[in-house]
Structure 1
Amino acid sequence: MNERNDLGPGRPVLLRGGTVLPMDVRHRVLSRTDVLVVGDRIAAIGPDLAAPEDALVIDATGGIVMPGMIDTHRHMWQTAMRGYGADWTLTQYFVWYYLEYGRLFRPLDVYAGNLLAAIEAVDAGVTTVVDWSHGLQTVEHADAAVDALRSVPGRFVLAYGNIQQAPAEWTAAPEFRDFVRRRITGDDMLGFQIAFDVTGDPAFPEKPAFEVARELGVPVTTHAGVWGATGDDGIRLMHEHGFMTPETVYVHASSLSADSYHRIAATGGSVSVSTESEQSAGQGYPTTWAIRAHDIPVSLSMDTSVWWSGDLFSAMRTTLGADRSRGHLEAHAKGETVTHCSLRADQVVEWATRGGARALGRDHDLGSLEVGKKADIVLIKNEHSPVSFPLLNPFGHVAFQAQRGDVHTVLIDGRVVKHEHRLVGIDLARAREEVERTVDHLRTTMGEEAWEKGMNPDIPETTILDNPYTYTDYRSASTHSR
């Protein structure tokens, strides 16, 4: 336990003399600026602020002070399997989790994954995470997910899902309603969404789930534009039935047509881009180039640690690279040269902060450093790193140079949860024990041969196109084998 008595909650905090990125609409850079936190709010921003008598004063000189980052789509329950699927395709992920071994996860395994993921997020300066929790086979699994999130001093949104049942089935269950009544209380630190996908079946079997979300007054988050699974037909059905709203978050949105982007733009929804995922697993080419053209709001996400990193520095870096790479390839195909970057570093930093807040309907109190807003703050500073200087372009430094190891201090809701590169009040040893139990359970239950084969998939001789959802027999050329 890394408990430190001088960092207890409730004490004012003054971050002194840093380069502040408030992430306001002008994308200003404030040099040698202080940020004062009193209670759970930002009390003042400016040079040479007076420190309250009992304040914790943190020297931010040479560092960058920015809003806490916000991840709008992370399958936290899968984190105990970190790196297991490094060589998977999306099809192999679907088979392993949706059709074969996802059912083996017990409530305590969901707890272990969520616990480790939550700690990992805090450590990397990700102060809010949407837990896209589609492994909730029972309400006991859901209770375990929430218990884990509650045990870590972060800000989370539980996006409740169940890939083992049809959305219309699990959202109609009395125990689901009871869970919402018991656990979703309007607490500022735990939000709620409903998470499911739309296959495009003309019968629209997902409609009852949308109606439940509307009745409960909660947003829907959905994997849209995922090659081989969800596409334009699903977007059209949502639109025709009036279920596309400004609160709807479309994850990936990669393999969609202009018609779908028009529908998303017209209804005010936003897209959660998971570039590391999209460029590796095969949902479609990371879609920032298309959604920028349609002026659709963007947030960033990491998807799952079964493959990829769990920090938004990687998300910003890969998003810039993928967007610019496509621009260069398009230009080269026409015999032209790109002379100016369309997507800039400050834009992806905004997507990682204010963009996430906007997607969650929290841009009134999260996502930027402004007096009166919630004190979710990250200090990037590493005096032991040669990469920490010179600090010339702060946005470029965040997007291309910084790493999770450079996160010096993290405040969430005004509470110091990481300081001087060490977590505060978090029991990492316990998380390790929980995860080790889960790995042992899965490995033993699967058997060593299946475990090794799952981690080292064969190179196939045939091409397989198949949707993992089994609750509908709908077939189309783009979503199922014909």
Structure 2
Amino acid sequence: MTSTILIRNGVVVDTEPDPVVLGQVDVRIEDGLIAEVGPGLPDVPGAEVIDATGRIVLPGFVDTHRHTWQAGIRAVAADITFDTYLRRVLGELAPRHRPQDIYAGNLAGALECLDAGITTLLDWSHVQFSPDHTDAAVRALGESGIRAVFGYCYGGDSGELTKETRRVHDTLFCASGLVTMVVAALGPEIVGEERALEEWRVAAELGLPVTAHLGGHGPESAERGLAFLEANGLLSTPTTFVHALHYTDEALRRIADAGGTASLAPVDEMNLGLGYPATGRLREAGIPTGLGADTVVCAPGDLFSLMRAAHLLERGRPDGAGMGFTTRDALRMATIEGAQVLGLADVIGSLRPGKQADVVLLRTDTLGMAAAHDPIGAVVLNADTSAVDTVLVGGRVVKRDGRLVHHDVAAVLSTLIESADMVANP
């Protein structure tokens, strides 16, 4: 039996090929897919009607890089350098996480995303201390109701990397669903070349893309890592360059020619001292570029903050070269361009008929959003998480009237706080 949802009376913003305000039109969803967008769509007997009066209707946001497990150590080091992050967060706090702590962090972190209108998340998970840790992380994502790409980063000795990556792929991702898998590689800038080769080769064997921290450790490291990938023919595997900050224009052309994509975390990159976000340079080179919260240890976890940061930092480039970057560009990065980065542009990221109905309704009946002359400008520059009224993932309502509807949020938070206390105070 067909399930129909009609979203009526909202101001609709679509994002493909570029963000545009369609005006007050309706959206019809059939069996979880966008079926039609247009004015005055006819009633459908038995349809659920969502009244979007006073709301902006747009595609759900896409977070292309987040260490979701860190929800339990939020703001543990708000003013931190990258070296201190490696020592304090990854060296001390991460190993204290039991599987149940990873579950608590991933569930709360995924729900935080949904609450903020993020309907798709790449969870770059580098706490695979045991198979139980991995299973707990994936289970939490599945139970949250978010659309997630699980970035599996093997945490043990290289001798078991291929075997364990295959196990995760074959046992946890053998069926279709909202949670899929990529290989989160440590890569040639962080680990030895032999291990990096194995990471890309197992990804190719399993038909999985790769996401890796590449280009964020200085110009010399960036060029050395890129040359290694090229010399070994590894860029034939779709690869996302996370924190791609230090490449020359010529190197960016090579990445673009290889079909690479990029993910930027503008707040985190500036706060940790990694470098100035290369937003405009990446996109001008033809590299699809998305946004990522990265870590709530020292950065916000919502895409409103990141869109705003990307917009202002690009327009504020010292050479003035970023003044052509617009709020529409920022919204595109948070939606359809982010979907491109994840290889999901044919599935999500816009309201094109046939795509999954990942949809967000934002309130405009507030003092901070009322009387906005440009809805796209208001989404990027004025909205925050309090504006997120209703969220759908695959046509399923996961947030309605400002409240998540499928989880006992108080219980989730209680578990998270208990876990956080254990981790911080062993």
The residue aligned with 2:45 is: 53
Q: 1:227–1:282: 8 Å Cα contact kept in structure 2?
A: no
The 2-side partners of 1:27 and 1:100 are apart by 43
Q: CA RMSD in A?
A: 2.0
The residue aligned with 1:225 is: 215
Q: 1:10–1:415: 8 Å Cα contact kept in structure 2?
A: no
Q: 2:63–2:120: 8 Å Cα contact kept in structure 1?
A: yes
Correspondences of 1:460-479 after superposition (within 5 Å): none
Which of 186, 192, 202 pairs up with 1:212? 202
Find out whether 1:308 has 2:312 as its counterpart.
Answer: no
Q: 1:247–1:359: 8 Å Cα contact kept in structure 2?
A: no
The 2-side partners of 1:54 and 1:404 are apart by 32
Residue identity matched to 1:57: V
Q: 1:382–1:408: 8 Å Cα contact kept in structure 2?
A: no
Q: TM-score, normalised by structure 2?
A: 0.94
Residue identity matched to 1:342: G
Structure with greater proportional strand content: 2
Larger radius of gyration: 1
Correspondences of 1:429-448 after superposition (within 5 Å): 429-445=410-426
Seen in structure 2, the aligned counterparts of structure 1 residues 424 and 11 have a Cα distance that, compared at 3 Å, is: farther
The residue aligned with 1:65 is: 57
SS at match of 2:300: coil
User: 1:358-378: per-residue Cα shift (whole Å, max 9, x none)?
Assistant: 112211121110112110000
Which of 268, 287, 307 pairs up with 2:259? 268
The residue aligned with 2:329 is: 347
Which of 258, 265, 278 pairs up with 2:249? 258
Residue identity matched to 2:341: A
Find out whether 1:181 has 2:170 as its counterpart.
Answer: yes
Farther-moved stretch of structure 1 (424-433 vs 313-322):
424-433
Which of 341, 353, 361 pairs up with 2:343? 361
User: 1:303-359: per-residue Cα shift (whole Å, max 9, x none)?
Assistant: 011111111111100000111111xx214xxxxxx8x93101111111100011111
The 1-side partners of 2:309 and 2:338 are apart by 17
The residue aligned with 2:117 is: 125
Residue identity matched to 1:423: L
Residue identity matched to 1:195: A
Post-superposition offset of 1:435: 1.0
Q: 1:198–1:230: 8 Å Cα contact kept in structure 2?
A: no
The residue aligned with 1:380 is: 362
The residue aligned with 1:4 is: none
SS at match of 1:161: strand
The 2-side partners of 1:280 and 1:392 are apart by 33
The 2-side partners of 1:20 and 1:91 are apart by 44
Q: For structure 1, list consecutive stretches of 5 or more residues without a partner in the other structure.
A: 1-8, 332-337, 446-482
The residue aligned with 2:403 is: 422
Residue identity matched to 1:217: G
The 2-side partners of 1:387 and 1:32 are apart by 21
Which of 321, 324, 330 pairs up with 2:312? 321
Q: For structure 2, list consecutive stretches of 5 or more residues without a partner in the other structure.
A: none
SS at match of 1:387: coil
Seen in structure 2, the aligned counterparts of structure 1 residues 10 and 410 have a Cα distance that, compared at 3 Å, is: farther
SS at match of 2:425: helix
The 2-side partners of 1:26 and 1:293 are apart by 15
Seen in structure 2, the aligned counterparts of structure 1 residues 26 and 288 have a Cα distance that, compared at 3 Å, is: closer
Post-superposition offset of 1:180: 1.7
Of all paired residues, the percent bearing the same amino acid is 35
